[in-house]
Amino acid sequence: MEFLNEVFSKIAEGHLNILLLLGLVLFGGTIGAKYFKKIKMPQVIAYLVLGIIVGESGFKILSSDFLVSFEPFNYFALGLISFALGGELDLGILKKHGKVLSWVLFLEAFGAFIFVGTGFFFLSSFVFGFNTALVIALLAGSISAATAAAGTTDVLWEYRAKGTMTTTLLGVIALDDVLALLLFAISSSAAFAILGLSANTLENIIKPVYEIGGASLLGWGAARVLSGQLKNYTEEERIFVFTMGMVILVLGISLILEVDMLMAATVMGFSLKNYAPRKTTVILKLLEKFAGPIYLLFFVFVGAKLTLSSMTPLMFLFIAAFLALRMGGKWVGTALGAKISGAPSKIGRYLPLCLFSQSGVAIGLSLIAAQRFPGEIGQTILVVVTTTVFIVQLIGPAFTKVAIEKAGEAGLNITEEDILAGSRVSDLVRPRPEVIYNDMPLSAILKVYAESDQNFWLVVDKEGKYRGVIGFENLRNALAEPELQNFILAEDILTPLSQHIEPELSLADAARKLRQANLDAIPILDKEGRALGVLEEREINQYVHKKLLEAQSKAEA
C-alpha cells in the first residue's frame, strides 16, 4: 500500500497536467457510476468513492493544493444545484402543501437541534468543563439543523422522483439552512455570554438576517432582470447561456456582498420559475443534459477532501454521537410534524431517510465556530462536522433512493421520451391478436372491421405466415367497386409491407421507424417470422398518454 501511495503521489506531483487529471476523473467517475448503477446504487456514491480513492485519504493523486484551486468551480456547481432546486419549487404546489411543509420543516430542524444539543452536552460533560460542554452542545445542535441539497437532489433527478413527499423534501432542504443560520446566530451569542467573552449580540443577530435577506433580494432581482431578457429570445441555446451567465454573476456578487450565495441562487431559480415557468422548464431540461460532468467533478472533489489520519478514538465517539442524534432528532421531528399537519403517512415514515446529507452550510458554520471559539471548542466542532459531512454525503444518497422507492415516488417524474425509451413493442402486443386470413372474403373482413377497435389487421395464410396488412384505405378502395365485392378476397386488397418490427424493439425506435417510413402502422413479427400483430402510431400515443396520466395520478396521491 505504501509503495502504491509513493508511486501515485509521484505521478500526481507535476507529472499530470490539469486537463489529464480532469479527464481521468470524468472517465473514472462515468465508469464507476455505470457499475454502481448495475448494483442499483446511486451514481453520486460512485463519484464520492472515486474521490476518496484519488484524494487525501487514498492515493493522493488529487493534492490539497489542486483541490483548493478548484474552490470557485465548487461554488459554481453548488450554485447550479441550488438554482435547479429553486426551479423545482412551484409556488402553487408549495401553497397546496404549505401546512405540511411548515410543520415538518420547523420540527425536523428543531428536533435535530434538541437531540444533538442535549446528547452533546452530556457527552462533553465527561471530557470538558460545564461551560465548555454547554457551548459545544449549542453550536453542534444549531449546525445539525442544516441539510444539504446537493446529494439529495442528484438522487431525486436520477430516479425521476415526483410526489407529495418529494415536494415536501425539496421545500425542506431549500429552507432549513435558513433555520440553521438563525439557530447558529442565537447559539453563538449565548455561547459568548456563557464563556464571559465580550460580544456584540446585536451584530450576531443582524448578520444572518442580512445574509438571508440580502441573498433573497439579490436572487429575486436577478430573476426579474433575467426573465425580462429572456422574453426577447426563443433559441434554447441563448436562453441557457444567459441563465448560466446570470447564475455566475449572482454567485460572484454574493461573495462581494458576503450574503448566502446558495440562498441567492435558490431564490433566483424559484423566482424565475414563477416569472417564466415555461422557459425555466426548458432551462432545467438543458441543465440536466449538460451539467452532468460538472456535478461529477464536484462530488469527486468532495470525496477527495476526506482526511481520516487526524481521527482519535474520542473524535470517533463524538462523530458517531452526532450522526445518531442528528438522525434521531430529524426522524422524530419529521414524524411529529407530519402527524400534526395531517400529512400522508409516507412523509413521516420515509422523508427522514432523505435528510442525512449535509454540506456547504454545515462546513461553513463549523469554520465560523472554529474562528470565533479557537481551541478545544472550535477544534471539536470543526473536526466533528467536517468528518460527518463526508460520511453523510456517502450514505445519504443510498437512503434517499430507498425512501423514494418505499414512498412509491421513484419514476413518476417522467416525460414522453422516458416512456418511449423505457418501453418495448412487446408491451403493446395483444395476447390474442386479431388476424385476417388471406382467403377471407370482403364481407367477412367488413364484419371484423365493425366489431374491432383496430384500424389495421395482419393478413396471414393458413400456416400463419405473414402476407401483408389491411387498413381502412384498402377497404375503401374495395368498396368503390360494388360489382366485384362478392369476388374480392383479403389477398386481393392487402398491402404487402416489407418492413416490420420485432417485439424486443424499444417503442422509441419503433416510433422512429414509423416516422421515417411515413407509415401509420407496421407489422410485428417474431424472429421466426410469425405474425404477432400490428403496431399503430395512435396506439403508441395512447399508451404514452396513459402512462403519463398514471404517473401524475400516483404523484398527486
Q: Give the helix ranges, DSSP H, for 342-441.
A: 345-350, 360-372, 376-406, 416-422
C-alpha dist (Å) from residue 475 to 330, 459, 532, 534: 68, 13, 22, 17
Q: What is the pLDDT of residue 137?
A: 92
For 91-144, what is the HEC assignment? HHHHHHCHHHHHHHHHHHHHHHHHHHHHHHHHHHHCCCCHHHHHHHHHHHHHHH
Give the pLDDT score at 2: 57
For the chain, the first-to-last Cα distance in angstroms comes to 53
Enter the C-alpha cell of residue 535: 403496431
Numbers of helices and strands, H then E, in the chain: 25, 5
pLDDT tens, the chain, 557 aa long: 555 555 555 555 455 677 888 888 888 888 887 787 777 666 777 887 888 888 877 788 888 888 888 888 888 887 887 788 778 777 776 777 778 888 888 898 899 999 999 999 998 888 888 888 999 999 999 888 888 776 787 788 888 888 888 888 888 887 777 777 778 877 877 887 787 765 566 666 677 778 878 888 999 999 999 988 888 877 888 888 888 999 999 999 998 998 878 788 888 988 998 888 888 888 888 887 788 888 888 878 877 876 666 667 888 888 899 999 999 999 999 999 989 988 888 888 899 888 887 766 777 677 777 767 777 888 788 778 877 877 887 788 888 899 998 988 888 877 788 888 888 888 877 777 777 888 888 888 888 777 777 778 888 888 778 888 888 788 888 777 766 667 778 888 888 877 788 888 888 888 888 888 888 888 888 887 777 888 888 888 888 888 888 877 777 66
CA 218, 221, 226: angle at the middle one, nearest 5?
Answer: 120
Residue 526 makes CB contacts below 8 A (sequence gap 6+) with 502, 503, 532
| Angle ∠(454,414,166) on CA atoms, nearest 5 | 140
* Nearest of 457, 465, 451 to residue 434 by alpha carbon: 457
